[in-house]
Structure 1
Amino acid sequence: MASARITELSTLIATNTEQLNAYFAENNLPTPSFDASALATLPIPEARQDLKSACIAVIEACSELSDLLSGPKELLNFKWTAYVSIKIILRFSLDFSFPVGSNTTFSTMSEYSGLSVMNVRRVVRHAIYNHRFFEEKALGVITHSALTATLVRDDKVRNALIVQLDEFWPAGVKAADALEQWPNSEESSQTGFSLANNSDKSMFDIFVGDRKRATRFAKFFDRSDEPAHILLESYAWDNVKTFVDVGGSHGSIAIGVAERFPHVRCVVQDLEGTVKEGKERLAPHLKDRVEFQTHNFFTSQTVTADVYYFRSIFHNWSDKYCIRILQSLTPALKPGSRIIIHERILPDLNTLNTADAKGAINMDIGMLQLLNAQQREMHEWEVLFKSADKRYRYLGATKPDGAIRWIIEAQWQA
């Protein structure tokens, strides 16, 4: 019953919060705060998975409790103004209008941005009350909060928020229209993103013609969402002599492999501009073991290797194109060659109520609105390999502790 559940959630929140607070107190660490001086992330060590689990448990329980106490009718009330103020703040750089540690007024922010005092006031107060952007502890006196201070200090965080609001959000608004216009399309040019941009091109093709947006988008993905060492410590590298990172961008994964396992020769393949940048960034001591090659993964593979690695590539493409990627590998494959696909897997019913599951499900919808692509369920991977070529033997998938991506693997049997 709901009444029993809300009590259960309350207890869960109290128990896990006490555990977290005790850790902060014992280690003389600051407790979470919205003050501008607060830490941008909680000071929980990577090794303390128990504390990370406690934190997730509190967040999930608070969300469920809030929903239960709101009731269905209130939950169905769409918050259609939710992110309007955030977009305006970022567009007019109001977060940069005064230094962290000082204060300002609506008039000063107006002079900085060119917006009227009335519009600055209404935007900033909306952001305060809905998103904890800025603080107004005295009437008309504005200071930074932890969130706006983080935006000012961390350009990657700020850029990510801009990309999500300017590129991803409009595509989501148009996703239903795209499904109506092109029912069940597998084409990346027939999406909510295409409609939002009044274009018949795919997201990637649109970015090719707009350097500023392309750079901003690339920077969005130049962020670590899980520790790089997880893959290096969770795969048997002893018998790997040649490693090809297909679509490997600037080579961060290949460089990690080369640094950790000197016996492995690494090849990074990507489009021409990315390869050029990767070569320029490569440390001199790795140039004899990390090679950059211009390669389109829809064309025939020319490098014979022990392992071909794809990190977050397949979720950008629908099944028909993923099959083409796998088929393009076959000219170079030798008996025993392995294919590693490193990305999220959609949850089953046993893992549905987890933070990882929510992330994967949200990403799945994101791929729909942007590219008509998808995250896949566990059983769909074997089907995908067999659809590409019967000589692929699916080996299964494993998810290391602390990871968000699975290591999905198949072997070539000539």
Structure 2
Amino acid sequence: MALVPDTSALVEAEQLVADLRDNGSAPAQHAKILQRLDKLRSLLHTGLDSLLFHARPFQILPALNVLIEHGVFDAVPVHGDASIDDLASKVKLDAAILTRFLRIVLTQGIFKEKAPGVYEHTPASAIFRTDQGASLYRLCTVQFPQWWRVSEYLQTHSAEEAQDATKVPYSWALGKEGMTYYEALEDDSTVADAWHKGMTMIQATQPISGMFPFHTLKAVVEAEPQRAFVVDVGGGRGNALVAIMQECGGNYGAKMVLQDFEQVLEGTDPVRIPGVENMPNDFFDPQPVKDAHIYYLRNVLHNHYDKRSQVILRQIVDAMSPTSRVLIGEMILPSSTTAGTDPFPFFMDINMFMEGGLERSEQQWAELLGEVGLKIDKIWRLPDNPVQSTIEASLR
């Protein structure tokens, strides 16, 4: 007996077609279409459909891993094609075995078989090349064995222990309980390399501009240039400061300060940004820059539960003047979740659970900031994706 889609599925399908017809080139429109497609799929799935759909990765992921680790994605030219015999010779695999792994990913639009045994790239396969997104994929796969042990961790650890930075699931699963996530990460150079490259790619996808209007502070900063304009706390390689100066056309005659560990700022690949002062600093220590116009934290506090986040924020609060602002660039979890909701914030939240942190709702942000004497003045949301936000706060 054929299944008849319910009314909600038909409505969703009609809206999907309308969105496809109106589709422009904006990434937000593309993301909206994919979310609607996910919602439609969930409405059409039977119980067995759902089970099989979510079991599918257990065949696809190992196949992708074989193709990445044996260099198949790099062996197929970006412009052109390659025969199965040429590929097998290049990557030193048996042609018949390689064909079997290629067939399963072809069902996902990864590669195209333009003629029998002849393959070319699609956008969905080219992203797995070493010079594109392979590092991000490796970041996921090298940590998957630890993720798989979460159920066991929850049977042996309390909620309080999960918030202890030295007892996080990731470190425990590696047999390195007593280390923080980052200490355990850096203890394995292969994993650390994948993490740093993957994080660079993720950070590049998360916006800086388009929320808080930094350029509106021009008159205020120029009137008091002795105060630092922006102190980027835990700012890594300074991508945020570069974006802010691009928006403002400079620094308005005031200092732009980049803070992070000395090995990040002055290590094997030193950070050098014209107009930016490097200042080695641990954000758990007292904030050395007093009375800045803006203290900026981007993707810092989600790495820590409230107790540790409060320590970080109190160091900043102690350095603020009544006219200083704290800007927090983070995701804000939606208040409700249904089929078709963008899963990325929740993916990140589970990721943070493994590491010893969490993504927060608007209420959780208000409670955290209130505990250290800050109040939310405004939440600046990205128009096309309101989960991406900049929280503006000041002293109460």
Place the TM-score, normalised by the shorter chain, in its bin.
0.7 to 0.9
Distance across 2 between alignment mates of 1:170 and 1:91: 17
Q: Give RMSD over aligned pairs.
A: 2.7
Cα drift, residue 235 of structure 1 = 6.9
Q: Which amino acid in the other structure matches residue 302 of structure 2?
A: H
Would the aligned equivalents of 1:307 and 1:339 in 2 still touch at CA under 8 Å?
Answer: yes
Structure 2 match to 1:306: 293
Distance across 2 between alignment mates of 1:257 and 1:58: 30
Task: Pick closer, same or farther for the CA change 1:400–1:107 going to 2, 3 Å.
Answer: closer
Task: Pick closer, same or farther for the CA change 1:354–1:64 going to 2, 3 Å.
Answer: closer
SS in 2 for 1:254: helix
Structure 2 match to 1:49: none
Identity %: 20
Task: Pick closer, same or farther for the CA change 1:118–1:222 going to 2, 3 Å.
Answer: same
Task: Pick closer, same or farther for the CA change 1:400–1:263 going to 2, 3 Å.
Answer: farther
Q: Of 374, 377, 381, which residue of structure 2 is paired with 1:392?
A: 374
Distance across 2 between alignment mates of 1:216 and 1:237: 38
Q: Which amino acid in the other structure matches residue 269 of structure 1?
A: Q
Would the aligned equivalents of 2:68 and 2:128 in 1 still touch at CA under 8 Å?
Answer: no
Q: Of 180, 188, 192, which residue of structure 1 is paired with 2:165?
A: 188
Q: Of 176, 189, 201, which residue of structure 1 is paired with 2:151?
A: 176
Distance across 2 between alignment mates of 1:138 and 1:386: 63
Cα drift, residue 210 of structure 1 = 3.6
Indicate whether 1:63 and 2:38 are aligned.
yes
Cα drift, residue 45 of structure 1 = 4.7
Structure 1 match to 2:393: 410
Would the aligned equivalents of 2:211 and 2:381 in 1 still touch at CA under 8 Å?
Answer: no
Indicate whether 1:204 and 2:182 are aligned.
yes
Indicate whether 1:372 and 2:375 are aligned.
no
Cα drift, residue 343 of structure 1 = 0.3
SS in 1 for 2:6: helix
Structure 1 match to 2:224: none
Distance across 1 between alignment mates of 2:89 and 2:166: 42
SS in 2 for 1:151: coil
Task: Pick closer, same or farther for the CA change 1:229–1:381 going to 2, 3 Å.
Answer: closer
Indicate whether 1:9 and 2:12 are aligned.
yes
Gaps of 5+ in 2: 222-226
SS in 2 for 1:339: strand
Structure 2 match to 1:382: 366
Q: Which amino acid in the other structure matches residue 341 of structure 1?
A: I
Q: Of 252, 265, 278, which residue of structure 1 is paired with 2:239?
A: 252
Gaps of 5+ in 1: 24-43, 47-51
SS in 2 for 1:187: coil
Cα drift, residue 277 of structure 1 = 5.3
Structure 1 match to 2:89: 111
Distance across 2 between alignment mates of 1:353 and 1:64: 5
Structure 1 match to 2:272: 282
Structure 2 match to 1:268: 258
Cα drift, residue 281 of structure 1 = 4.1
Q: Deviations over 1:196-237 (max 9, x none)?
A: 433223331123334443333222222322444324636742
Cα drift, residue 406 of structure 1 = 1.3
Would the aligned equivalents of 2:211 and 2:380 in 1 still touch at CA under 8 Å?
Answer: no
SS in 2 for 1:323: helix
Counting matched residue pairs gives 373
